[in-house]
Amino acid sequence: MLPSMPVSARGRPRRLRGLIRKEFLQIIRDPSSIAIAFVMPVVLLLLFGYGVSLNAMHVPVAVVLEKPGPDGYGFAARLQGSAYFRTVMMATMQQAQQALMHRRVDGIVCLRSSFARDLTQPGGATIQVILNGVDANNARLVSGYVQNAWEGWASHRAAERGKPAPFSVHIEQRVWFNSQVRSRNFLVPGLIAVIMTLIGALLTALVVAREWERGTMEALLVTPVRLPELLLGKLIPYYILGMGGMTLSVLMAVFLFHVPLRGSVGFLFVASSLFLLAALGMGMLISTVTKNQFVAAQVAIITTFLPAFILSGFIFDISSMPRVIQIITHVLAARYFVSILHTIFLAGDVWPVLWPNALALAVMVMIFLGLTRRKSRKRLE
């Protein structure tokens, strides 16, 4: 029998290097990895940055003046001049209601025949606003805009006549953080959390499950490679890929969509790393348990991607969710990260907000990576 070939003393770094190099070669050659890491972020950012807007613009509104007069026309003109509305003058209320029924308009603004007279009365005048409540979000916005327009008109009118406005209440509206009230400024940072969830959890779940499915994992197990090396061999490449996707998203946010970045870039990097590690841990845990690409993808989408989309505060405000759902959001890493992103981008380094969220992320990293380590075996059972 020949003596066994000499085995390198620097086994561990060499094995790890070999695994990482393999993973990168696979990433480069697999179009779907590149698509998820780089094409998908661009598509999502463009879609949400340009296509989806939570600002209501050019909302078609019917305006009914029961008794035309200078005051009525003045207010209608005010509405018409606003970028939020596209007004349609209607002669009767029936006509307007018909239009609302058929969805030709999203709302009706009606000035009663007593409008001009009431304006001068102590009780003040009433504007009737009827809104299509199907899209509640839109309805709320439109109602706000109408009020805005009304106040604008009233103060304008008062100034014109040199008399104080006929209201005792003077509303001063100020929008914090997102002073231009651009939903894009709010959506784009949140989207970074969704994109990193995709790369971290979904892509990782897929590639680990693929190794089980194709039988390559079985071959890797019967080598000198140790379990932590196998896990690091997956973590490191996808961490780098995920941070690449994050950098791309941040650059697009700042330079393409002109979202302000008010906080420190260093902390953004730290928080993103924590979130990405939590997502990677989640992805690896899913694929370690399921060992099947299809199931892993389904589980990853349902447990990470959808919650990141719906329950993280990315689109829907968590404080307006039902109590039970609010409690559930605490188990989602995306929730903490979205909160950090919104703060860093729009408010700046508000440490009392950032630290607790970062701490929560760190705890999740430990839970998921710890569970993955515990669930992984160098065995098939």
Partner 1 sequence: MPATSAIAPTTSVPDVLVLKNVSKSFHAGKRLIGALQAVSFAMQPGAVTGLIGPDGAGKTTLMRLVAGLLRPDDGEIQVLGIDVGKDPQSVQSSIGYMPQRFGLYEDLTVQENLDLYADLQGVIPRDRAKRYGELMRMTNLEAFRGRLAGRLSGGMKQKLGLACALVRSPRLILLDEPTVGVDPVSRRELWAIVYRLVENEGVSVLLSTAYLDEAQRCRDVVLMSEGRILHQGPPDSFSQPLAGRTFQMRVPGITRRTLMRELARRPEVVDAIIIGDDVRVVLDRASEAPKQVKGAFPDAVLEPVAPRFEDAFVDVLRSSKSESTQAPLVQPAAAVATGYAAIAKGVGVVTQAGGAVIEVKNLTKQFGSFYAVHDISFSVAPGKIFGLLGANGAGKSTTFRMLCGLLPISGGMLRVAGYDLRTARAVARSRVGYMSQKFSLYGNLSVMENLRFFASAYGLVRRKRSRRIDEIVREFGLESVADMNSGGLPLGFKQRLALAAALMHKPDILFLDEPTSGVDPLARRDFWHRINGLVDGGVTIMVTTHFMEEAEYCDELAIMAAGRILAMGTPAAIRHSAGTPAHPSPTMEDAFIHLIESSQRKVA
Helices 293-300, 204-214: axis angle to 10 degrees equals 160
Rule CB under 8 A: is residue 11 a binding residue for partner 1? yes
Nearer to partner 1, 4 or 320 (CB): 4
Nearer to partner 1, 18 or 69 (CB): 18
Nearer to partner 1, 225 or 285 (CB): 225
Rule CB under 8 A: is residue 226 a binding residue for partner 1? yes
Tell me the closest approach of the beta carbon of residue 207 to partner 1, in angstroms. 11
Q: How far is CA 1 from the centre of its chain?
A: 64
When binding is defined by CB under 8 A, the residue of 169, 222, 319, 324 that contacts partner 1 is 222
When binding is defined by CB under 8 A, the residue of 58, 103, 156, 214 that contacts partner 1 is 214
Q: Which residue has the tokens 């014109």?
A: 160
Using CA atoms, how far apart are residues 227 and 212, in angstroms rounded to an integer? 15
Tell me the closest approach of the beta carbon of residue 34 to partner 1, in angstroms. 12
SS3 377: coil
Rule CB under 8 A: is residue 25 a binding residue for partner 1? yes
Name the one range near partner 1 by CB under 8 A: 8-16, 236-244, 267-275, 341-349.
8-16
Rule CB under 8 A: is residue 83 a binding residue for partner 1? no
Q: How far is CA 93 from the centre of its chain?
A: 40
Subset of residues 362 to 381 that bind partner 1, contact rule: CB under 8 A: 378-381
- List phi, psi (to 5°) of 281: -60, -40
Residue 17: HSE in the Cβ half-sphere, 13 Å Cα cutoff: 5
How many Cβ atoms are within 10 Å of 319's Cβ, its own excluded? 7
* Closest-CA residue to 17 (of 283, 281, 225): 225
When binding is defined by CB under 8 A, the residue of 51, 122, 215, 352 that contacts partner 1 is 215
Rule CB under 8 A: is residue 225 a binding residue for partner 1? yes
Nearer to partner 1, 206 or 338 (CB): 206
Within 8 A by CB and 6+ apart from 211, the residues are: 217, 220
Instruction: Name 59's bridge partners.
Output: 85
- DSSP letter for 291, please: -
State the number of binding residues for partner 1 (CB under 8 A): 35
Nearer to partner 1, 26 or 80 (CB): 26
Using CA atoms, how far apart are residues 161 and 166, in angstroms rounded to an integer? 12
Using CA atoms, how far apart are residues 200 and 33, in angstroms rounded to an integer? 11
When binding is defined by CB under 8 A, the residue of 119, 216, 248, 326 that contacts partner 1 is 216
Rule CB under 8 A: is residue 322 a binding residue for partner 1? no
Instruction: Write out the residues near partner 1 by the rule CB under 8 A.
Output: 1-2, 4-8, 11, 14-15, 17-19, 21-22, 25-26, 29-30, 214-216, 218-226, 378-381
